[in-house]
Amino acid sequence: MTTAGSTTDRADDRSRVEERPASAAPLLELRGITKRFGAVQALTDVDLVVPAGQVTALVGDNGAGKSVLIKCIAGIHHPDGGQIYWEGRPVHLRTPRDAAALGIETVYQDLALCDNLDIVQNMFLGREKTRYTLLDEENMELSARETLSSLSVTTVRSIRQPVASLSGGQRQAVAIARAVLWNSKLVIMDEPTAALGVAQTRMVLDLVRRLAQRGLGVIIISHNMNDVFEVADRIAILHLGHLVATGPISEFDRETVVDYMAFGRSERRKRNSEPTVAEQ
Amino acid sequence: MSQIDDDRLVTDAEVEEGATDFSALPVPAELVADSLPAYARAWFARLRAGETGKLPVLVGLLIIAVIFQTLNSKFLTAGNLVNLLVQGAVYMLLAMAEVYVLLLGEIDLSAGFVAGIGGVVCAELVKTDTGWPWWAAVAAALGVCAVIGLFQGTIITRFGLPSFVVTLAGLLGFQGVMLRIIGTGGTLPIQDKVINDLANANLTATASWIVMAGIVAAFCAVTWLRDARRRKSGLVAPPASFTFVKIAAAIGAGVIVVLICNRDRGVLAPIRGVPWVILIVLGVLTAWTLVLGRTKLGRYIYAIGGNAEAARRAGVSLPGIRTIAFMLASFTAGIAGIIYASRLRSVSTNLDGGTLVLYAVAAAVIGGTSLFGGRGKPIDAVLGGIVIAAIDNGMGLQGFSAASKFIVTAIVLIAAVTIDSLARRGTTTRR
Ligand SMILES: Nc1ncnc2c1ncn2[C@@H]1O[C@H](COP(=O)(O)OP(=O)(O)O)[C@@H](O)[C@H]1O
Ligand SMILES: [Mg+2]
């Protein structure tokens, strides 16, 4: 059975999906996702399981299709083929709002923050609380403060500073906190540490771990093998639009992952589980 | 140190030990200070960080006042000051119109002639042979202006055209429409008493005191309740002493304005009291400050000006909000147009909407509104409008020509944007 910790096997999954109780269903499951842009085949038959309470690292070379894949999950792109299952139910994500309604939040590579607004205003942008049609600043500030302190990244005194005055890591933290504020169940991050220094990367990775501890599912795209091995519970490797390997991080080492990323296969995989789709 | 170099957001414990460090952040002073001295420190820290706030325009006003007063002792008389505010009302209103679109990083070049249309429609409707009551004429004029804004905003957002070009076409087109309506006579006189009173009548001295007391009391109540609510909810709130200072300042300002306005400034017959038009400007200022500062619409206008893509991803409808902003700008321009017409008791083909709108943009920018969007407030427009009116008035007293007025206004405008950009250079702000 496909539960957190075992390697995906497509044929097995498909035969058993109907008899699976809803509670055992993974948070998110992709089956046979295909996406074309004209002549470019960005994704081919991608199967992926994203369990709750775990960090799934999505890796691959430039142009492998990582961003396209998460945009399909975030409702920005519409797959040409395949099916997305959310908590075991098939879903159609037509817009980012559909995804948000399910509890899927995306933290974008180019942080979607407004420099001229403060932390609270950014966290609530688009979903402001109001009282008699006027903005309820106190209420929003209290919620924002609570969320930030539950992630241990808060100060009560600087929560009203414009995000323009924050460091890169702090901005990333605000963007992540913004995603968490909405009782989201799955947080997707596209290269959250790409532009950060060592200490700031630390802070963001800690934050990512804390999200998983809270029971959220996390998908994190990263180019940095150190980050991946530090933070991830599971790994999924894309190569030219194919998902060439996926499974618990313990079954992989750096060389294996690099092999998969570069060539789409590896001779070195630790053989303690069933073969992956691509190897069959 | 003017920013947190720490890689984490600072924890509560660090806040306790390092409270003074926090005053070095470019954070609104009232949010980090819990005593008056701390407030002053926070304020200076913001200043050093390039967040100059209203300081440049207030200092500028002071310099202008000193210069013109030394040149001509009539400048600071009660009569002239009131006159100056009344003259500046049209600039202030038009500049408030412009703030809506400047916040988006857009511009509205048509506002001057849209104001003209507002004045003309109002004048036409209160003519004796049309005979509309004054309030219906005003409502219709503002409605027409709002529709114009809706139309221009729709073209700009739906077809993705630059606002500069669309409103430039508006500047030309609505000038044509205005001239057409006014016709060959060249002047459209206004006989309606209420319309003419809008820019020319004053409250009685007693009424001035009562109205100003009401306004100040309302301001004090709102300020006190808001600060008290923040203190109660456990959020960082300004110290009570600072709330008192704000309230005292408001009372002081109210008393001074009424004292000045209640001095007899008449030449033949006595004239005293607060002009209606000052109340109209105050009313528009309050309404637009509320809309921009305390509603979703206002928040989205700032968000779009700061980072349109972020706003879009947050689910904000960019075309919708942008169109509404253009509509509110034209609506406000309509108010300015009615005041303009009221002041002259007529609308004529001499109305120069091109110069008016450029003065309005200049006023907003002098007051501290950014041309790149995301930064600015209605109060900026009012302060900038006062600067422009003061230059106009002071140089007029000295008998300078229009040519010299233009040149000096240009210098002040350049000085204002230069000071702002120098203050911001090398700050923590990444814009
Ligand atoms: N909107 C688009 N239109 C056309 N081609 C696209 C689009 N987005 C991505 N692609 C193509 O899809 C492939 C995968 O891209 P992407 O997912 O961005 O790669 P990465 O793994 O580096 O994030 C690339 O060949 C890219 O050129
Ligand atoms: Mg990418």
pLDDT in tens, chain A (280 residues): 334 444 444 444 434 444 444 457 899 999 999 999 999 999 999 999 999 999 999 999 999 999 999 999 998 899 999 999 999 999 999 888 889 899 999 887 677 799 999 999 999 999 999 999 999 988 999 899 888 888 776 544 568 888 887 877 788 888 888 888 888 999 999 888 887 878 778 888 988 999 999 899 999 998 889 999 999 999 999 999 999 999 999 999 999 999 999 888 877 766 555 455 444 4
Q: Average pLDDT in the B35-63 region?
A: 78
Q: Which of A56, A51, A37, A54 is nearest to A85 (CA)?
A: A51
For the CA of A64, the nearest ligand: 1
Q: Which of A71, A95, A106, A114 best tests the B interface by mutation, with the highest count of B CBs <10 A? A: A114
Residue B43 within a domain: no
Q: Give chain B positions within 8 Å (CB) of A117.
A: 299, 302-303, 306
Residue B257 within a domain: no
Residue B410 within a domain: yes
pLDDT at B93 over 90: yes
Task: Specify the 3-state DSSP secondary structure of B264.
Answer: coil
Q: Does B222 touch chain A (CB under 8 A)?
A: no
For the CA of A78, the nearest ligand: 1
Q: Which helix (H) or strand (E) holds B188?
A: strand B187-189
Is the CB of residue A78 below 6 angstroms from any atom belonging to ligand 1? no
Question: Is the separation of the CB atoms in A182 and A127 below 8 Å?
Answer: yes
For the CA of A110, the nearest ligand: 2
Residue A231 and residue A213: Cα distance in Å, rounded? 12
Q: Does B307 touch chain A (CB under 8 A)?
A: yes
- Taking CA atoms only, the protein residue closest to ligand 1 atom 18 is A67
Residue B210 within a domain: no
Residue B264 within a domain: no
**Which own/partner contact pairs does B207-210 have at CB distance under 8 Å and 24+ positions apart?**
B207/B273, B207/B274, B208/B258, B208/B261, B208/B262, B208/B273, B208/B274, B209/B258, B209/B262
pLDDT band at B6 (very low <50, low <70, confident <90, very high): very low
Residue among B9, B295, B429 whose CB faces A155 most closely: B9
Residue B322 and residue B155: Cα distance in Å, rounded? 11
Q: Which of B145, B116, B106 is nearest to B327 (CA)?
A: B145
CA of A93 to the centre of ligand 1 (A): 19
Question: Which of A68, A80, A110 to mutate to test ligand 1, by most ligand atoms within 8 A of the CB atom?
Answer: A68
Task: Specify the 3-state DSSP secondary structure of B320.
Answer: helix
In chain B, the number of structural domains is: 1
CA of A65 to the centre of ligand 1 (A): 6
Place of tokens 């295909």: A34
What's the CATH number where B324 sits? 1.10.3470
Q: In what order do the strands lie in the sheet with A81-86?
A: A40-50, A28-37, A81-86, A89-91
Task: Collect all residues with Cβ–Cβ distance below 8 Å to A134 and sequence separation of at least 6.
Answer: B290, B294, B295
Report the alpha-carbon angle B95-B282-B388, nearest 5: 40
pLDDT at B86 over 90: yes
Tens-digit pLDDT profile for residues A35-77: 999 999 999 999 999 999 999 999 999 999 999 999 999 988 9
Q: Give chain B positions within 8 Å (CB) of A168.
A: none
CB contact burial B124-137 (16+ within 10 A = b; e otherwise): bbbeeeeebebeeb
Residue among A116, A156, A166 whose CB faces B15 most closely: A156
pLDDT at B244 over 50: yes
pLDDT at B241: 84
Is the CB of residue A35 below 6 angstroms from any atom belonging to ligand 1? no
Residues forming a β-bridge with A237: A59, A245
Place of tokens 């008389």: B77
- Taking CA atoms only, the protein residue closest to ligand 1 atom 7 is A37
Q: Give chain B positions within 8 Å (CB) of A152.
A: 11
Residue B233 within a domain: no
Is the CB of residue A42 below 6 angstroms from any atom belonging to ligand 1? yes
pTM (2 decimals)?
A: 0.85
Domain containing B191: what range?
A: 2-14+67-201+275-430
Handedness of CA B125, B127, B130, B133 (dihedral sign): positive
Residue type at position B20 = T
Task: Specify the 3-state DSSP secondary structure of B348.
Answer: strand
For the CA of A191, the nearest ligand: 2
ipTM confidence: 0.85
Q: Does B48 touch chain A (CB under 8 A)?
A: no
Q: In B55-162, which ranges are continuous DSSP H helix?
A: 55-71, 78-102, 111-126, 134-158
Is the CB of residue A40 below 6 angstroms from any atom belonging to ligand 1? yes
pLDDT band at B184 (very low <50, low <70, confident <90, very high): confident
Strand A104-107 and strand A186-190: the pairing is parallel
pLDDT at A122: 94
Question: Is the separation of the CB atoms in B311 and B114 below 8 Å?
Answer: no
Tens-digit pLDDT profile for residues B402-424: 898 889 889 988 888 887 777 66
pLDDT at B311: 92
- Taking CA atoms only, the protein residue closest to ligand 1 atom 3 is A37
Q: Give chain B positions within 8 Å (CB) of A149.
A: 12
User: B315 vs A141: CB contact, 8 Å cut-off?
Assistant: no
Task: Specify the 3-state DSSP secondary structure of B275.
Answer: strand
User: B236 vs A117: CB contact, 8 Å cut-off?
Assistant: no
Residue B113 and residue B145: Cα distance in Å, rounded? 10
Residue A188 and residue A57: Cα distance in Å, rounded? 10
CA of A43 to the centre of ligand 1 (A): 9
Task: Specify the 3-state DSSP secondary structure of B189.
Answer: strand
Task: Specify the 3-state DSSP secondary structure of B346.
Answer: strand
Exposed/middle/buried for residue B184 (C-beta within 10 Å: 0-12, 13-18, 19+): exposed
Residue B127 within a domain: yes
Gap from A127 CA to chain B (nearest CA, Å): 8
Q: Give chain A positions within 8 Å (CB) of B368.
A: none
Task: Collect all residues with Cβ–Cβ distance below 8 Å to B266 and sequence separation of at least 6.
Answer: B272
Average pLDDT, chain B: 87
Strand A28-37 and strand A81-86: the pairing is antiparallel
Q: Residue A257 is encoded by which pair of tokens?
A: 């992952």
pLDDT at A271: 54
Three-state secondary structure string covering chain A: CCCCCCCCCHHHHHHHHHHCCHHHCCCEEEEEEEEEECCEEEEEEEEEEECCCCEEEEEECCCCCHHHHHHHHCCCCCCCEEEEEECCEEECCCCHHHHHHHCEEEECCCCCCCCCCEHHHHHCCCCCCEECCEECHHHHHHHHHHHHHHCCCCCCCCCCCEHHHCCHHHHHHHHHHHHHCCCCCEEEEECCCCCCCHHHHHHHHHHHHHHHHCCCEEEEECCCHHHHHHHCCEEEEEECCEEEEEEEHHHCCHHHHHHHHHHCCCCCCCCCCCCCHHHC
CA of A109 to the centre of ligand 2 (A): 8
Residue B194 within a domain: yes
Residue type at position B70 = T
Q: Which of B2, B3, B5, B7 best tests the A interface by mutation, with the highest count of A CBs <10 A? A: B7
pLDDT at B425: 66
pLDDT at A153: 66
Q: Quote the crossing angle between the two packed helices B378-397 and B55-71, to the nearest 10°.
A: 10
